[in-house]
Amino acid sequence: MALERNIERKLVSGVKAMGGIAYKWVSPGNTGVPDRIVIFPDGKIEFVELKTETNKPTPLQTAQMKRLQHMNCVVYVLRGETAVNEYLDVHSIRLGVEWKP
């Protein structure tokens, strides 16, 4: 099983390979916000929470994600490397670019 930091690295490098940015989101006073704000080169912005295959979001993280969703934001919880690969594949096809380094 991959560590969460390795899963996060995969997301960041894949998004970067497609010409996007995956900012680390640290928001003082707002514990539980998603790990990354992903901005694709076509302007699409998504929030991504990363977990290992066996972990799930805490109640506070779930509340923060629901708050974002109520504002019509796109929020994903990606559990494990397979989920990150699938996420990157979908956006790679959508953008017509490769993500695999």
pLDDT digits (tens, 9 = 90+) for 24-71: 999 999 999 999 999 999 999 999 999 999 999 999 999 999 999 999
The Cα–Cα gap between 87 and 81 comes to 10
The Cα–Cα gap between 2 and 19 comes to 25
When pLDDT is cut at 50, 70 and 90, the band that residue 4 belongs to is confident
Range of the domain at 64: 4-95
Whether residue 2 is predicted with pLDDT greater than 90 in this model: the reply is no
The Cα–Cα gap between 72 and 56 comes to 22
Bridge-based pairing state of the strands 36-39 and 21-24: antiparallel
For the chain, how many residues are written? 101
For residue 55, the domain's CATH number is 3.40.1350.10
pLDDT digits (tens, 9 = 90+) for 22-32: 999 999 999 99
Identify whether 101 is part of a domain. no
pLDDT above 90 covers what percent of the chain? 92
Local structure of 89: helix, strand or coil? helix
Q: First and final CA of the chain: distance in angstroms?
A: 22
- The count of C-alpha atoms lying within 13 angstroms of the C-alpha of 2, restricted to the half-sphere facing its C-beta, is 19
Identify whether 100 is part of a domain. no
pLDDT digits (tens, 9 = 90+) for 67-89: 999 999 999 999 999 999 999 99
pTM: 0.94
Domain count, the chain: 1
Give 45's strand partners.
39
Whether residue 9 is predicted with pLDDT greater than 90 in this model: the reply is yes
